[in-house]
C-alpha cells in the first residue's frame, strides 16, 4: 500500500511584528504596527493590535484611528529577509522537498518521513520547536493535510503558535461547511459571483458537476470544483536558484549600427533587470554575447564590486563592454546576461535590495521599483525606457521617470 501523502504548511505568526518584538523586548505584549513604507499602509501588526481591528493593507491613518496607543514602526526589510533565510535553513532539515512560498511560509512534503520523525503530527511539533529555537523565540503555525491547499487552510486554523491536522477521513466533513472564500484562489469577486448563485460553501459547490463549473467559469470553475472535492494535484516544488538570467535576440538584419545594438542592450537590460528584481536576485557579473554574420561568437564579461539588478547599471555596463569591443563583422545576434548571484531565493522575495547598495544603485532601485509597479499594473509594454523610443541620445533616469509618469497619466485619462 502506498504511504499516505502528507503536506505540511508552515506560516510564521505576525512575522514582521514578531521580529520587532523579538529584537526589542520592551515591545512584547504591545500592539505593534509595522508599515508606512508603501503608500502608507500596514504591512502587518502584532496579535495585540489585531484585537483593535488593525489588519494588513489597511491605511496607517485608519490603523491610528483604531489603535491610537499602538507602536508604529517602519519595516526593516533586510532584517526580515535574514530571519526568513534562517527559517528556510531550519525547516530544510525536515524534508528534502521544501517550497518557500513567500517570505514567511513554506510547504514541506512530509510523506513517508515517519521513520525519521515519528508520526507526522510529531514532526510538526518538532518543526515548530526548531523554528522557535533557531530564531530565538519566533512562533509559527503548522497545518498538515493530504494536499497543498488543505494544508494551507489548516495552518490558519489555530493561529498563532498552532498546529492543526486534517486526516483524509476528516476531509469531507471539513469541506462540507468550508466557505468558498477560504479556498485559495477564490477572491472577493469570484466569491460574490458564487454567492449570487446561492453557493457559499464547498459543500454547495459539490452539488453541481465538474462540467457545470467548467462551462460557467472555465479553468477557475474546474479548479474550484476539484478543491471542493479535496483534490489538489500540485506537488511541493523546491526552489532552486537560477545561475543566470539573460536575454538575446537574433536581428532581422545583420548590422554594425551601434545605435541599433545599444537599443537592444537597453531592451535586454530592461527584461533581465525586471526579472531579477521580481525574483529578489542580483548579480555581479554582466556578460555581453555577440554572434557575427559568419556565426562566430564572442562573449565578454565584467564583474562588478557589488551585486546589481537595476536596469540602468546593467545597461551601462553592457554598453561599456560593447564600446570596448571592436566589431569584427556585422552582428547577427546580441545578448546580455547577469550572473554571479549569491545565495538567495523567494524567501527574500520583494525584500532584497542588493546588499549595501551604493548610493547610485539604490537611487536606481527606486526608479526601477516605480517602473516595475507600473508594469505590474499595466503590463510589460506599458513602460519603456527612453532609449527604446529614441534611436539617438541616452536614456537617462529622469527621462524614464517622466516617461513612466506620462504613461500613468495617459492610463488614468482613458
Which chain residues interact with Mg ion by CB under 5 A? 11-12, 15, 104
Q: Which stretch binds ligand TTP (CB under 6 A): 99-107, 181-189, 260-268, 379-387?
A: 99-107
Does position 285 interact with ligand TTP (CB under 6 A)? The reply is no
Distance CA 316, CA 281 (A): 19
**Rounded to the nearest whole angstrom, what is the least distance from the CB of residue 408 to Mg ion in the complex?**
32
CB closer to ligand TTP, 11 vs 121: 11
Q: Which stretch binds ligand TTP (CB under 6 A): 97-105, 124-132, 268-276, 381-389?
A: 97-105
Total number of residues that touch ligand TTP (CB under 6 A): 15
Alpha carbon dihedral 108, 109, 113, 118, in 10-degree steps, equals 50
Distance CA 345, CA 281 (A): 7
**Rounded to the nearest whole angstrom, what is the least distance from the CB of residue 16 to Mg ion in the complex?**
9
- Which DSSP symbol is given to 258? H
CB closer to Mg ion, 14 vs 266: 14
Q: Return the closest-CA partner of residue 372 out of 286, 270, 282.
A: 270
Q: Which does 57 bind (CB under 5 to 8 A by kind): Mg ion, ligand TTP, none?
A: ligand TTP
Distance CA 387, CA 405 (A): 16
Do residues 292 and 332 touch, judged by C-beta distance below 8 A? yes
**Rounded to the nearest whole angstrom, what is the least distance from the CB of residue 289 to ligand TTP in the complex?**
38
CB closer to ligand TTP, 55 vs 216: 55
Distance CA 358, CA 310 (A): 12
**Rounded to the nearest whole angstrom, what is the least distance from the CB of residue 225 to ligand TTP in the complex?**
27
User: Residue 2 burial by CB count (10 A; 0-12/13-18/19+): exposed, middle or buried?
Assistant: exposed
Q: Which stretch binds ligand TTP (CB under 6 A): 8-16, 176-184, 214-222, 331-339?
A: 8-16
Q: Which stretch binds ligand TTP (CB under 6 A): 10-18, 146-154, 323-331, 387-395?
A: 10-18
Neighbour count for residue 228 (Cβ, 10 Å): 24
Does position 138 interact with ligand TTP (CB under 6 A)? The reply is no
CB closer to ligand TTP, 37 vs 342: 37
Taking the CA atoms of 187, 193, 198 and 203 in sequence, report the sign of the dihedral they define. Answer: negative
**Rounded to the nearest whole angstrom, what is the least distance from the CB of residue 12 to ligand TTP in the complex?**
5
Do residues 94 and 144 touch, judged by C-beta distance below 8 A? no
Backbone angles phi, psi at 149, to 5 degrees: -65, -30
Q: Which does 48 bind (CB under 5 to 8 A by kind): ligand TTP, Mg ion, none?
A: none
Q: Which does 103 bind (CB under 5 to 8 A by kind): Mg ion, ligand TTP, none?
A: ligand TTP
Q: Does 105 qualify as catalytic in the annotation? A: yes
Distance CA 408, CA 382 (A): 9
Does position 43 interact with ligand TTP (CB under 6 A)? The reply is yes
Distance CA 108, CA 154 (A): 14
Please pick, among 20, 48, 99, 105, the residue that the annotation labels catalytic. Answer: 105
Q: Which does 338 bind (CB under 5 to 8 A by kind): Mg ion, ligand TTP, none?
A: none
CB closer to Mg ion, 18 vs 313: 18
Long-range contacts of 16-20 (CB under 8 A, 24+ apart): 16/43, 16/44, 16/75, 16/80, 17/44, 17/45, 17/46, 17/49, 18/46, 18/138, 18/139, 19/76, 19/79, 19/80, 19/83, 19/138, 20/73, 20/76
Does position 56 interact with ligand TTP (CB under 6 A)? The reply is yes
CB closer to ligand TTP, 15 vs 264: 15
- Which DSSP symbol is given to 201? B
**Rounded to the nearest whole angstrom, what is the least distance from the CB of residue 13 to Mg ion in the complex?**
6
**Rounded to the nearest whole angstrom, what is the least distance from the CB of residue 214 to ligand TTP in the complex?**
31
Taking the CA atoms of 389, 390, 391 and 393 in sequence, report the sign of the dihedral they define. Answer: negative
- Which DSSP symbol is given to 160? S
Q: Which does 264 bind (CB under 5 to 8 A by kind): ligand TTP, Mg ion, none?
A: none
Q: Which stretch binds ligand TTP (CB under 6 A): 103-111, 125-133, 239-247, 265-273?
A: 103-111
Interface residue list for ligand TTP (CB under 6 A): 11-16, 43-44, 56-57, 103-105, 159-160
Residues involved in catalysis: 105
Amino acid at each position: 500500500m502506498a504511504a499516505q501523502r502528507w503536506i505540511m504548511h508552515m506560516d510564521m505568526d505576525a512575522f514582521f511584528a514578531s521580529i520587532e518584538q523579538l529584537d526589542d523586548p520592551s515591545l512584547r505584549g504591545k500592539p505593534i504596527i509595522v508599515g508606512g513604507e508603501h503608500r502608507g499602509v500596514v504591512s502587518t501588526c502584532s496579535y495585540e493590535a489585531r484585537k483593535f481591528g488593525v489588519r494588513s493593507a489597511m491605511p496607517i491613518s485608519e490603523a491610528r484611528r483604531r489603535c491610537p496607543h499602538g507602536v508604529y514602526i517602519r519595516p526593516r526589510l533586510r532584517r526580515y529577509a535574514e530571519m526568513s533565510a534562517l527559517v528556510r535553513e531550519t525547516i530544510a532539515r525536515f524534508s528534502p522537498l521544501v517550497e518557500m512560498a513567500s517570505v514567511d511560509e513554506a510547504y514541506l512534503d512530509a510523506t513517508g518521513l515517519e521513520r525519521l520523525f515519528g508520526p507526522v503530527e510529531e514532526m510538526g511539533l518538532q518543526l515548530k520547536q526548531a523554528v522557535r529555537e533557531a530564531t530565538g523565540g519566533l512562533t509559527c503555525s503548522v497545518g498538515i493535510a493530504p494536499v497543498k491547499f488543505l494544508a494551507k487552510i489548516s495552518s490558519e486554523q489555530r493561529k498563532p503558535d498552532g498546529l492543526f491536522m486534517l486526516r483524509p477521513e476528516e476531509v469531507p466533513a471539513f469541506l462540507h461547511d468550508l466557505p468558498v472564500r477560504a479556498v485559495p484562489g477564490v477572491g472577493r469577486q469570484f466569491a460574490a459571483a458564487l454567492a449570487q448563485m446561492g453557493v457559499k460553501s464547498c459543500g454547495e459547490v459539490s452539488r453541481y458537476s465538474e462540467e457545470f463549473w467548467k462551462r460557467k467559469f472555465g479553468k477557475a470553475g474546474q479548479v474550484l470544483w476539484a478543491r471542493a472535492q479535496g483534490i489538489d494535484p500540485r506537488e511541493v516544488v523546491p526552489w532552486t536558484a537560477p545561475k543566470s538570467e539573460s536575454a538575446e535576440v537574433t536581428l532581422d538584419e545583420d548590422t554594425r549600427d551601434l545605435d541599433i545594438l545599444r537599443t537592444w542592450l537597453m531592451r535586454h537590460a530592461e527584461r533581465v533587470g525586471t526579472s531579477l528584481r521580481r525574483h529578489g536576485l542580483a548579480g555581479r557579473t554582466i556578460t555581453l554575447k555577440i554572434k557575427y554574420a559568419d556565426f562566430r561568437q564572442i562573449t565578454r564579461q565584467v564583474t562588478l564590486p557589488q551585486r546589481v539588478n537595476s536596469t540602468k547599471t546593467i545597461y551601462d555596463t553592457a554598453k561599456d563592454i560593447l564600446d570596448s569591443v571592436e566589431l569584427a563583422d556585422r552582428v547577427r545576434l546580441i545578448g546580455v546576461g547577469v550572473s554571479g548571484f549569491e545565495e538567495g531565493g523567494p524567501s527574500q522575495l520583494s525584500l532584497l535590495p542588493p546588499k549595501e547598495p551604493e548610493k547610485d544603485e539604490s537611487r536606481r532601485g527606486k526608479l526601477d521599483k516605480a517602473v516595475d509597479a507600473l508594469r505590474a499594473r499595466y503590463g510589460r509594454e506599458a513602460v519603456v525606457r527612453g532609449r527604446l523610443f529614441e534611436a539617438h541620445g541616452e536614456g537617462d533616469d529622469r527621462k524614464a521617470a517622466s516617461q513612466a509618469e506620462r504613461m500613468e497619466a495617459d492610463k488614468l485619462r482613458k
